[in-house]
Amino acid sequence: MSEEKSQSRGYRISFFIGGLILGIALTGFIVAFSLPRMMIDVQESKLDFEQTVSKIQEAATSNGWTVSKVYNIQQSLLDHGKQDIGNMRVFSICKPEYAEEILKADGRKKVSAMMPCRISVYETENGKVYIAGINVGLMSKMFGGTIEEVMKKVAKEQEEMLQPILK
């Protein structure tokens, strides 16, 4: 009888370890294939390209954000002899209060590598206009503390700024 119990116990342990390994592998597979799509938020604009660019600039400044630079990626590539990729602008925007809140502590200065916030506007070959940016809400969860709190505010404000433009 004790030999049967020992075998039964061995099977249960083997089954548990096999299930655990399978669960870890499945989780890794799901994360590896879904996380890249979740990190970049892409939404279609209901406006044409130039109107979208203009409305984003207006919305940012009227909500207290500084538009420090608008990169014309299309023109930059053309200037370097590369092919025409179509209309594309990338906005670098910053809200000084948020930047200060994060960067005033030395331990958080590493986050400056992700600053200022970027918003991309591009037009596809079929004429559709898209707005893309890092999923700040999701990314905030990776940091915790002050960085998470500030990034959640950023995500909320960006969503509010872009909502009237989105399809």
Which tens digit of pLDDT belongs to each residue from 10-49? Answer: 677 777 777 778 777 776 666 566 555 668 899 999 999 9
pTM beyond cutoff 0.85: no
- Give pLDDT, residue 116: 87
pLDDT in tens, 64-117: 999 999 999 999 999 999 999 999 999 999 999 999 999 999 999 998 998 889
- Give pLDDT, residue 140: 82
**Position 5 confidence tier, pLDDT thresholds 50, 70, 90:** low
Helices (H) and strands (E) in the chain, counts: 6, 5
- Give pLDDT, residue 61: 95
- Give pLDDT, residue 23: 74
Place of tokens 């590896």: 32
**Cα gap 27→46, rounded to integer Å:** 36
159 CB-contact burial (10 Å; exposed 0-12 / middle 13-18 / buried 19+): middle
- Give pLDDT, residue 28: 64
Write out the CATH class of domain 45-165.
Answer: alpha beta
**Position 142 confidence tier, pLDDT thresholds 50, 70, 90:** confident
pLDDT mean over 3-13: 68
**Cα gap 165→55, rounded to integer Å:** 7
> Omega before 116 cis (within 30°)?
yes
- Give pLDDT, residue 17: 79
**Cα gap 76→61, rounded to integer Å:** 25
